[in-house]
Amino acid sequence: MMKDQGKLITMKEGYEMMIHMLNSFYEFTGNTDLTDVLSGGEYFGGDQPADSAFWDYWLEARTKLAKEGPLRKSFI
């Protein structure tokens, strides 16, 4: 896992990153089972997520938020 870069994020940025991460997880897997997300993201042992891909999902979410901004729904 990549070491923490020391960059602090706001609560709002963290929330928006979480939404990007969950959306990417759903798009990649088609899985809507929240228990899979929670069990994969929990730490196993030290500071390694049980599913190591979750750290990559988080980093991708940070990049998406920086490039695309927050996800927004459009209501017709």
Q: Cite the DSSP H helix spans in the chain.
A: 11-29, 34-41, 53-68
The Cα–Cα gap between 38 and 43 comes to 10
Q: Which residues, 6+ apart, have CB-to-CB distance to 60 below 8 Å? A: 20, 21, 24
pLDDT for residue 27: 87
- Ordered per-residue pLDDT tens for the chain, 76 residues: 445 566 788 999 999 999 998 888 888 888 888 888 888 888 878 888 888 888 888 889 999 999 999 988 777 6
Q: Which residues, 6+ apart, have CB-to-CB distance to 56 below 8 Å? A: none
Among all chains, which residue has been given the structure tokens 């897997």?
Answer: 29
pLDDT for residue 49: 83
The Cα–Cα gap between 25 and 27 comes to 6
pLDDT for residue 4: 58
